[in-house]
Structure formats: C-alpha cells, structure tokens
Amino acid sequence: MTLAEFFQANGFNPLPHFVALLTAYLFALPIGWNRERAERSAGLRTFPLVAVASCGIVEAAEGLTVGHPEAMARIVEGIITGMGFIGGGAILRTKASVSGTATAASLWATGAMGMAVGLGSYDVALMICIVTVATFGLLSPLKHHIDEQPATED
C-alpha cells in the first residue's frame, strides 16, 4: 500500500483544511499590517496566528462534533473566552489613560473571523475583515483629529 492509498483509506485529506487555514491567514494580514504600521503591541505576526489558531481549533473539532451542535457551541465559547483573555493582555492602563482597546477589539474580531472560516462561513469572515480594516482606515484619522483638539471645560 502506498502512502497516498493509506491516507485516502483513512480519510486523510488536508487540502480543505489548508485552504481554510490559508484563507484565515490571508484575511488577518491586512488587520495585522494596520496594527503593525501603527506600532501597536500586536501586529503582523499576531493577527494571522490568532486567525489560524481559531480556525484550526474549529476545524480540528469538526469530526468530534458532527451531529452535536451544542458541542461545537462549547468549542466556540471557549475560543471567545480565550480571545477575551488575549485581548485583555493588549490593554494597558496608566493613571491618566487606557490604551490598546482597539487592538484588543481587533484581536477579538480576528478570532471571530478565524472561527467563521473554520465553520465554513467565508462570507462572514470576509465581512469581518472588511469592516475591521475599514474601521481602522476610516475612523483612525477622525480619532487622531479629535485627540488633537484641546479639551473643553463643561
């Protein structure tokens, strides 16, 4: 028996998983690129890894959760909790300010994007990517403009 025959007989087909993981990776790149350019704590390496890990966990659990949607729901809940933990690490609080909330939120969105790809909802993942990138692209200049304005007394 050849190696290819062995894999085929045992249901080994990495191509769909490779496509899903690569898609999650590619969708996360523009978000990571934005955070890297803004010199944030998480950037070009972190975001694709978050997307790939979230996607991979969902993909790996698929065989165990077939016919048991509540089991997949628990997997998704665990990923969401983990993303909150990672995002919490990106938030820094000083006496006068809090920073990193946008990075934390984008990490959470990237985890959701990876889960969506893992669940086969490529359209949802693409929309999360577009909305996240657009939020940074369109609202960051507005935020900088607001931050430059002097504070007013009420």
- pLDDT tens digits, 14-56: 889 999 999 999 999 999 999 888 777 777 899 999 999 999 9
| Strand, coil or helix: 154 | coil
Mean of pLDDT values over 94-118: 90
Question: For the whole model, what pTM was predicted?
Answer: 0.82
Judged by phi (left if over 0) then psi (alpha if -120 to 50, else beta), residue 116 lies in alpha
Residues near 76 by Cβ (< 8 Å), separated by ≥ 6? 58, 115
pLDDT at 153: 62
Q: Which of 114, 139, 142 is nearest to 128 (CA)?
A: 114
d(CA 48, CA 79) in angstroms, rounded, equals 15
pLDDT at 88: 84
